[in-house]
């Protein structure tokens, strides 16, 4: 009922014309026609209007000190390969290597051993593996399990900013409203640990473009991390690292029950 009230208020406030009403019906029809099990243009509309992030904010309020969540996005594919501590997620060259490492802790500071970190990212062609039929399906994705002290590490590549799929009606909406389709560079993570709420989040590259204008409103300042260049004699260089850059991302999970990840369909 509230939706109807707000819809009526909107129509009255803007004094909607018949031509505008027809244009609205047309774009919603096109969004419906474009949506199937591979491409969910309605979710992309929700993302680009900021509705997905508002639902996330309402649903995933976290206590002080816990890591914040952000959107899942359409490129998550369950069942990534389990990989060894430090292993590269790049199956083929995809950009400069970055040692991503950190710990997973509970809100009370206890390290969480055996937690799972499910990661996926794009490479320097700006694509996720699932967007490219010719790409090995396990490229730039993997699952890692934390060690006894809650630590994890993997070798990623430096993510690049990329445009969301903008070849459909949502792209037209963005252009018509003078907006760009870009997301700032990030690595996706889902952290799961028994007795804790699962966390769906990103680690944003603090030096990326578009941090202040993410087209899906997904940036939270607490999720930005700097990629540090690590020359061999750098005293702060993490000990096991074999590459020239590192990014530290510690995660703090809230006690609670795991919730299933809502994967509504891909936008590939
Ligand atoms: C992503 O980060 O993968 C994403 C999120 C929302 C819409 C499109 C892409
Ligand atoms: Fe992404």
Mean per-residue pLDDT over the chain, rounded = 94
What is the distance between the alpha carbons of residues 86 and 29, in angstroms, rounded to a whole number?
47
Alpha-carbon distance values, 127 to 94, 107, 120, 162, 220 (Å): 10, 34, 11, 8, 23
What is the distance between the alpha carbons of residues 162 and 188, in angstroms, rounded to a whole number?
14
Q: What percent of the chain has pLDDT over 70?
A: 96
pTM confidence score: 0.94
Structure tokens at 73: 């996005």
For 36-75, the pLDDT digits (tens) are 988 999 999 999 999 999 999 999 999 999 999 999 999 9
Taking residues 215-244, report their average pLDDT.
90
What pLDDT is stored for residue 268 in this prediction?
45
> Taking the domain 35-253, which CATH number applies?
2.60.130.10
pLDDT band at 261 (very low <50, low <70, confident <90, very high): low
Q: How far is the centre of ligand 2, averaged over its atoms, from the C-alpha of 186 (Å)?
A: 6
pLDDT band at 243 (very low <50, low <70, confident <90, very high): confident
Q: At what angle do helices 169-176 and 41-48 cross, to 10 degrees?
A: 20
Q: Which of 88, 68, 81 is nearest to 118 (CA)?
A: 81
Which atom in ligand 1 lies closest to the alpha carbon of residue 75? 3
Q: How far is the centre of ligand 2, averaged over its atoms, from the C-alpha of 4 (Å)?
A: 33
What pLDDT is stored for residue 239 in this prediction?
79
Q: How far is the centre of ligand 2, averaged over its atoms, from the C-alpha of 219 (Å)?
A: 11
What pLDDT is stored for residue 240 in this prediction?
82
Most informative mutation of 49, 74, 261 for ligand 1 (most atoms within 8 A of CB): 74
What pLDDT is stored for residue 231 in this prediction?
81
For 124-150, the pLDDT digits (tens) are 999 999 999 999 999 999 999 999 999
- The DSSP secondary structure of the chain, one letter per residue, reads -HHHHHHHHHHHHHT--HHHHHHHHHHHHHHHHH-SSS--HHHHHHHHTTHHHHHHHHHT---TTSPPP----TT--S-PPB--TT-B--SS--SSEEEEEEEEEETTS-B-TT-EEEEE---TTS--GGG-TTS-TTTTEEEEE--TTSEEEEEEE----EE---SSHHHHHHHHTT---EE--EEEEEEE-TTB--EEEEEEETT-TTTTS-TT----GGGEEPPEE--TT-TTS-TT--SSEEEE--EEE-BS------------
Taking residues 147-167, report their average pLDDT.
97
pLDDT at 256 over 50: yes
What pLDDT is stored for residue 260 in this prediction?
58
Taking residues 80-93, report their average pLDDT.
97
Q: What percent of the chain has pLDDT over 90?
A: 88
Residues with CB under 6 A from ligand 1: 44, 47, 71, 73-75, 164, 183, 216
Taking residues 228-251, report their average pLDDT.
87
Residue predicted with more confidence, 52 or 231? 52
What pLDDT is stored for residue 267 in this prediction?
52
pLDDT band at 233 (very low <50, low <70, confident <90, very high): confident
Residue predicted with more confidence, 260 or 26? 26
Q: Which of 167, 168, 134, 140 is nearest to 155 (CA)?
A: 140
Locate the domains of the chain by residue range.
Answer: 35-253
For 104-119, the pLDDT digits (tens) are 999 999 999 999 999 9
pLDDT at 79 over 50: yes
């Amino acid at each position: 009922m509230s939706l109807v009230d707000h819809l009526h208020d909107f129509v009255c406030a803007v004094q909607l014309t018949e031509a505008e009403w027809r244009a609205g019906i047309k774009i919603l029809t096109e969004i419906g026609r474009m949506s199937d099990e591979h491409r969910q243009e309605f979710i992309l509309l929700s993302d680009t209007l900021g509705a997905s992030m508002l639902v996330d904010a309402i649903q995933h309020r976290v206590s002080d000190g816990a890591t914040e969540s952000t959107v899942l996005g359409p490129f998550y594919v369950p069942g990534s390969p389990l990989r060894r501590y430090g292993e590269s997620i790049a199956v083929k060259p995809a950009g400069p290597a970055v040692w991503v490492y950190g710990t997973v802790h509970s809100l009370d500071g206890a390290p969480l051993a055996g937690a799972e970190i499910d990661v996926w990212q794009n490479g320097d062609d700006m694509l996720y593996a699932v967007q490219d039929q010719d790409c090995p399906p396990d490229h730039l994705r993997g699952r890692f399990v934390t060690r006894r002290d809650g630590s994890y590490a993997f070798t990623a590549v430096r993510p690049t900013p990329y445009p969301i799929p903008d070849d459909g009606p949502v792209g037209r909406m963005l252009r018509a409203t003078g907006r760009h389709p870009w997301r700032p560079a990030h690595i996706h993570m889902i952290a799961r640990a028994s007795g804790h709420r699962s966390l769906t989040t990103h680690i944003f590259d603090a030096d990326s473009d578009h941090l202040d204008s993410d087209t899906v409103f997904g940036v939270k300042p607490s999720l930005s991390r700097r990629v540090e260049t690590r020359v061999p004699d750098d005293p702060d260089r993490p000990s096991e690292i074999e590459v020239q850059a590192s990014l530290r991302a510690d995660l703090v999970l809230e006690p609670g029950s795991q919730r299933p990840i809502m994967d509504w369909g891909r936008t590939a």
